[in-house]
Structure 1
């Protein structure tokens, strides 16, 4: 069996994660599987200025089993987790606090409570065919509110390359590229562009919902390149489809929010099939990724 082929799980079903995750990822219906190169974490792509696998943080000097926010250099912004659940998560608010986990350079124990996302999958997930949205991702077991579910991982791109790839797409193509913008001090913005189209993880199968059950939070572990971690925004039941708001908000409201504009049929041409009461009818639209390439290279 070549490395490109999915490996079989212990139950005989083939593993979408190619054996690279903590748990095997099944697919339904059996025998049908999407084709792409699997990676559990980000990989460097064209135009990226920083290699996401490069260790850039010095690490804490804590000698305790679990780090404390009063003394740990990784917890300058407060404690991140409570019993493996993300703290301060609210149902209708964005999570704005920076999250830094302890890393490979830290002197604390591997059992430190500030190590959650880096531990990988903790729940059994399944890739499945939906009625209208193509492939989707669902959980096979109960997930409590605040627990880490999975990452959205793929190629880290430069802004010009992300724009080029987007502009090559037609309205019939699936768009996996995500732009994450973090506002920091003095009005500065950190942009991260991720494309899991050809090289990615199971996060690429997450569909949009105007009332999602997941919240995406940038989490930094070893590198300044954030790991796009998805946490349960509420309790999630077995067999429930997992989803997040592509616009970065919990609810895809019909109003401007930075570069996220009012969904428009003439602009995106991509209808939303989430079926929720607050459905905006069309997928969120990020104007900056469709702007003239000259603006991307000169800004």
Structure 2
């Protein structure tokens, strides 16, 4: 069978981690791509299992302390039983120190001697010139005819415990990168959509029940449900190095989301590793760490990290005993010996995050040194020195700090043409930046904060009726009924589920501007920047971190009828045709793999968008967004100031968490408009 898309997977056998081990080539079956295109992530992704072993972790706190009285009742769908288990797996006991609290120097000597002698019998042979371990299965080639079965078998093991087979993924082509990115994006979108949905349903339940009941942890329930459905990624292979589809700089608001995409397999442990019991030669191997300042002896200088091992802390996260060379600590030492790289995720407090924290993937590091020393609390701690591997994209945590300095005015690099190209038409300034050439073209257009519709569109506006809500709309108000009985946004203004058309409260409603159903009409909330790009001509990025499901801006222009558009095209004007945008709204909130009775929203039925938008003289920031077949922004149709279904507003929402300084992109489907004479096609 011909397999057009080759992926080189270097299998590092758990039997031996010899430096001379080679790799084998495995091809991903072409049917996987069709499965992803059809939305079947479960079948398309071969790296799925269910159970999460909790083995001797370096404990880290959850994003928020889980409430002990969470309800496990499924109040959203009687066919779905939400289960939540936040307790660590204690099936394997954690070894306790065998020394007294004051015997620190004895313990210091003991661990130093352990470092020196523990592996001398094993490692000497590995270091011998020309040695090849007879059990090194990594250098045994897999016949071509077995490639498909090697990958296909993994999808059938999703309910087994996490695999001990280590895999390194290399040599991915452009199409493969796009494929894996799409898998990760859809999985994260499902997680975010489910989390928002669970939280919104919990709010309804709380409003309908008398008395105080605890809030549901949407992040934990969403991950639990996805785990039960076998939708966690990369569980059936333990990936060493980069995770396909996860980019350096990707940001996560919740610790559990990192587990869902397979970046870090343990919900609380700071060190994720292959345990010695899973390795036939007894050597544990660390694959990723989370640096979050949980240990007082940690030192983080960006490219260089002094990382403290796990153990010895009391329930108040204070160092109260000596650390031992075991579990994750031993795995870090073994990764250093074999030269195995580890992924580094940084977690820290961040204002505006729904969890109060952000987690940023900062790339691959090598462990180059390990030692024991007396920590700040007077106990022996094991330390590891990690250095970031060269030639990687810039660290996401550094970009976050840079964007923060830009927002605060602490730095102002050369290249800013204008601090507000909207000329105060937006509530928040839109800057223009070009440090490449002397092109100032965006300044030649009049900024248009909202679209201009033909007068006839408003002819029926006199028949508009609004709600009588005073402090804010409720689920039983008139505007809720227009949306099928359920608002499209949660209490934080996040899009719950994409719809063919959303009705927001309008000028005839009595509710205030802060109403939950007035999300898009209040203008932008982020600090955007139109910048000159060598790849796309002009692009758009944000100085703020944008949460998935958040409103970004309206795509504006002068609205033309079909006949008017034909005349303007003859004049050579630049026109945008809304009916050619991809229907990405249908992906946001698609829970068909969660709920067996899920139906794609179809209310209300919208007629074909038979109009065009002239952006040749008047436009806004959205016009400079580039095209992508794997976009991070979607188009959602919204009505609020008139009732003409054929002429809705084009509102843009984030499809994923968009880090600061990352370019925003739209799916223009098979249509590539050009908003300026020299910009590359969108």
Tell whether the structures are fold-level matches, with TM greater than 0.5. Answer: yes
Contact 2:479/2:503, CA 8 A, preserved across alignment: no
2:419 to 6, 10, 14: 14
Indicate how the Cα distance of structure 1 residues 185 and 141 shifts in structure 2: closer, same or farther if over 3 A, else same. Answer: closer
Does the CA contact (< 8 Å) of 1:177 and 1:197 recur in 2? no
- Specify the SS of the correspondent of 2:617: strand
Counterpart in the other structure of 1:239: 661
What does 1:1-299 correspond to in 2, within 5 Å?
13-29=418-434, 32-34=440-442, 35-44=444-453, 48=454, 50-51=456-457, 55-56=461-462, 58-73=464-479, 75-77=481-483, 78-82=486-490, 83-88=492-497, 95-166=498-569, 169=572, 175-180=574-579, 188-223=607-642, 224=644, 225-247=647-669
Cα distance change, pair 204–185 in 1 and its aligned pair in 2 (3 A): closer
Partners of 1:149 and 1:159 lie apart in 2 by 28
Max Rg structure: 2
Partners of 2:460 and 2:620 in 1: CA distance: 19
Question: What per-residue deviation string (whole Å, max 9, x for no partner) do you get for residues 223-262 of structure 1?
Answer: 2331110000010000011111012xxxxxxxxxxxx58x
Q: Deviations over 1:180-201 (max 9, x none)?
A: 3899878943433212221121
- Give the 3 Å change call, closer, same or farther, for CA 50–241 of structure 1 in structure 2: farther
Matched residues in 2 for 1:198 and 1:101: separation? Answer: 29
Q: Which runs of 5+ in 1 are unaligned?
A: 1-9, 89-94, 248-259, 264-271, 274-281, 284-299
* Superposition RMSD in Å: 3.4
Q: 5+ unaligned residues in a row in structure 2: which ranges?
A: 1-407, 410-415, 584-601, 673-678
Distance of aligned partners of 1:142 and 1:130 in 2 relative to their CA distance in 1, 3 Å threshold: same
Give the count of matched residue pairs: 233
How far off its partner does 1:133 sit? Answer: 2.1
Deviations 1:29-79 (A, max 9, x none): 2783521111111124xxx46356995562423234221232223542221
TM-score w.r.t. the length of structure 2 is 0.31
Q: Is the 8 A contact 1:178 1:195 kept in 2?
A: no
Structure 1 or 2: more strand by fraction: 1
Superposed CA deviations along residues 102-121 of structure 1, whole A, max 9, x for unmatched, are: 01110122221001101101
| Structure with the bigger percentage of helix | 2
